[in-house]
Structure 1
Amino acid sequence: MSIVDVRDTVVPIRSRIRNAYIDFEAMTVSVVAVITDAVRDGRPVVGFGFNSNGRYNAQGLLRDRFVPRLLRAAREHPATLLDPSGANLDPQAIWPILMRNEKPGGHGERSVAVGVLDMALWDATAKIAGVPLWRLLADRFNGGAADSQVFVYAAGGYYHPDKGDAGLREEMRSYLERGYSVVKMKIGGAGLDEDLRRIETVVDDVLDGAADRLAVDANGRFDLGTALAYGEALGPLGVRWYEEPADPLDFKLHSVLSERYPGPLATGENLFSHLDARNLIRHGGMRGDRDILQFDPALSYGLTEYLRTLDMLDQHGWSRRRCIPHGGHQFALNIAAGLGLGGNESYPDVFEPFNGFADHIPVESSLVKLPDEPGLALETKSELYRSVLKPLAQL
């Protein structure tokens, strides 16, 4: 068997929302379809991949470098794409083919392009094997153990020009009505006093005073003084976690903050290699008994690199349960279930149609089960499949 084609497109997910750092007026996503000559149920197996929100499409990189490398290998050395049986793809063997002639460091948007392809390759691999990706991962890398359901929280609470405190309360209540018990909102896009008022209105009026059901996210906005000031105000409230208070590569700032802020910190969604993740663990003051690691496999060279990150965490004594990936997509959800992570982000209302999980599986008490369909089961998201994936694959 072999890969016969790779198709890509760019899809807008623009919105009037903003966080502390960027707005989403021009946000886009790259989507790829990896077409194989393997046949299941009378149709060619197609693997789908896309990048998470917050990083723009990587179409230029895909078309200039990474897709041509993959297709050249498929034409000239097809056996290098396959596992030892020769009957299925091997994403871990394909990864170095994609990265051939790439210098180390300077990950930038390159990690996004490779992550999109890697997602599609794992989707195709599991489909060819006839199993859900979470089951494939559990059997290969986790001794066969898979979680039957995964913790998810509702991420929202963005700044919006037409939404005041009443709109924020209505949004958060709607998440509780849809089965979420833990929610997250943005901070840092307003002053401290205004943000504290917004936090208090959610905690007091929506969560009945349970601040540990609310996480807050500054999206890397603060300098040290501001991060400490917010930390001093947030500490007595007891929020679920204080997320990305500063630039993700300012490990010294994180280390200083962790000495002063007693509650859980969360970061990592904008670190795109296992080496950057290792620097965070070595130098960022992260505490394995409480802090959350949010590395996003779709943005950081894919699952193949994420496995290296998990190996690094194991070597440093971190539990995988401290990992709750950013992104709100079914790729990370499968990884969380199959590899025993601590949960997954969810976006109930934004970044459609890439947000959310299988249409027929509800969220209950912030827990969601996974579909049994082979691969990532993106086909169980009807609007995504109808409007984006099916036309791309031309099935």
Structure 2
Amino acid sequence: MRDTNPPTHPPTQRPRRRRSAAAFTGAAALVLAGFGFAAQAGAATAPAGHGATATPHVTWKSACAKPDKPGEMRCDAKRVTGGTTAYDIERARAGHVHPDASSPSGYGPSDLQSAYGLASAAAKSGSGATVAIVDAYDDPNAESDLAAYRSHYGLPSCTTSNGCFKKVGQTGSTSSLPSADSGWAQEESLDLDMVSAVCPNCNILLVEADSATMTNLGASVNEAVSLGAKYVSNSYGGSESSSDSSYDSKYFDHPGVAVTVSAGDSGYGAQYPAASRYVTSVGGTALSRDSSSRGWSESVWNTSSTEGTGSGCSSYDAKPSWQTDSGCSKRTVADVSAVADPATGVSVYDSYGVTAGWYTFGGTSAASPIIAAVYALGGTPSSGSYPAKFPYAHTSALNDVTSGSNGSCGGSYLCTAGSGYDGPTGLGTPRGVSAFTG
């Protein structure tokens, strides 16, 4: 995947986060007058109302570099670098000036809880549950950045001192941590903030692998489980290989634990470990407000033929018994989905290796921790269960995403959304927690 998608907005447009309030007011006037930026392929449509016809349109950069060795994984975080997001359009419509580095620049906790019917559960549930985040390398500012995010949104404090937050290396040590990496640090900020947004009462365990190899990341998954996490989010992936079946048994076969994995950001095509038969594979959507009774709408996240949510047939992993679609003889990606389009992205606070402040992020890296946190709101999985199975028994408790595609596959459900199960969005997105409860 390319590190940046080509900018197609007018060359005189300044990067979104650097514009002054006055400059944005002028841009907002054009947006609301119907002279907004051209739509990106697959980008979410702006919310209806006030005659606005603009669509979200952004440029973004992958947080992590491409792997340069076989067996290495890449994080799926995408940081917005310019353009106009759905959040910008909504603020303009409400008469607010453009956010800058001192204020949030994407969807926050109340937005996500509203979109996925989680406000009641987020207020009452999650206490005592531990959601683990598995990533590579160290983010030295993880705890302080998390504190900034939670403080701004009025979420309960989550620190090492009060027992809510814990950061360890892949062997469980709190002092022997891997080397720092600014790209993966952005991924970690995104993951921590998404868990906080959806399950503010949950404890958070951050396990940092020594490197981005599948063996080290897999060992970190095992460490997270050994430390008591019942929900483990993995926002990374790489090419499938003949070793995947052995990785399944070594790292991902954890009955009674909900393990979520990003489906990938390279469009149609399966990647590992999203293709593991033991995990909940999480696809990505474009999310926007609308005038429906839900108040939100979603479509498949797709920027181009090589940039969008992943989906497809595994080449190696066996099909789990609860997956019954007929287009793949082996495992089909994905199972469920959540917001991932950078143009309809989420707000994240980050300070390591970048100017400290608020950023907008997307990628299926956002979707995986969101779903892990929803599982946590749903309660502890029963011993011996495989939580990846739960949504298949509760399809009516999901928002069925029926529009958009992420590539070319002859019009098949494997790359094209439709009623019921499809590859890019799986069974759909959360509508409360019922579909994620055993």
Q: Under a length normalisation based on structure 2, what TM-score does the superposition of the two structures give?
A: 0.34
Bigger fraction of residues in helix: 1
Q: Under a length normalisation based on structure 1, what TM-score does the superposition of the two structures give?
A: 0.37
